Amino acid sequence: AQSVTQLDSQVPVFEEAPVELRCNYSSSVSVYLFWYVQYPNQGLQLLLKYLSGSTLVKGINGFEAEFNKSQTSFHLRKPSVHISDTAEYFCALYNFNKFYFGSGTKLNVKP
Amino acid sequence: DAGVIQSPRHEVTEMGQEVTLRCKPISGHDYLFWYRQTMMRGLELLIYFNNNVPIDDSGMPEDRFSAKMPNASFSTLKIQPSEPRDSAVYFCASSPGPRLGELFFGEGSRLTVL
């Protein structure tokens, strides 16, 4: 069975501080992993993806994520957040033509 | 490209009424997915199509829900009769092939059933 767990439902952080959004997955086979961002009243947009190769993946807006197979994790990081990063972030796993999404983490960046 | 287009953006209806949500995928995308998003259950995959053929509808909650894709540029999700617990945001997403790793989402249709 495939599943994605996002441990934090909400993460408050001050502007220009670093942030890490945690994601753990469960799968019996090799997977592709993604992070999507959802701004209010919009659909989801791809931030970054891991398909193979380097375990450190860089995405848009200064975000990056590291695939850790032994810990079955794919945590999202940004060294310095902006107010505009306030949104909900979804970790997702792809397998057998389906995407499995986590429950989402709301990032609230405060001035 | 205009992206994935969904209509209506907002729908308010009364219990028992029929609801039809529409989706136009990105041209050339062979896969189309319907998702439902609620606070309680997050993002749930309802059904997906490949080349207009429904491949997996195991996520469709019950027989009141049906989806069609009569051609490569149009899909509908129908709820008949609607119930208050169907209130949610329904997203359509298309992809050139999921192994390429990206779903392109529409802006969603927010359904409220009174």
Q: What is the pLDDT of residues B53-101, one digit of tens each?
A: 999 999 998 899 999 999 999 999 999 999 999 999 999 999 988 666 6
Predicted confidence at residue A89, as pLDDT, reads 97
Q: Is the pLDDT of residue A109 over 70?
A: yes
Give residue ranges of B with CB < 8 Å to any A CB.
4, 31, 33, 42-43, 45, 48, 50, 55-56, 91, 93, 98-99, 101-103, 105-108
What percent of chain A is predicted at pLDDT more than 90?
Answer: 77
Contact A4, A93 (CB under 8 A): yes
Residue matched to tokens 């997050």: B42
Note the pLDDT tens digit of each residue in A75-108: 999 999 999 999 999 999 988 778 889 999 999 9
Distance CA B85, CA B69 (A): 25
Place of tokens 């986590």: A102
From the CB of residue A13, how many other CB atoms can be counted at a distance below 10 Å? 17
Task: State yes or no: pLDDT of A15 exceeds 70.
Answer: yes
Distance CA A109, CA A95 (A): 32
Show residues of chain B in contact with A99, CB under 8 Å: 33, 45, 98, 103
Q: What is the pLDDT of residues A18-56, one digit of tens each?
A: 999 999 999 877 789 999 999 988 889 999 999 888 899
Percent of chain B's residues with pLDDT above 70: 96
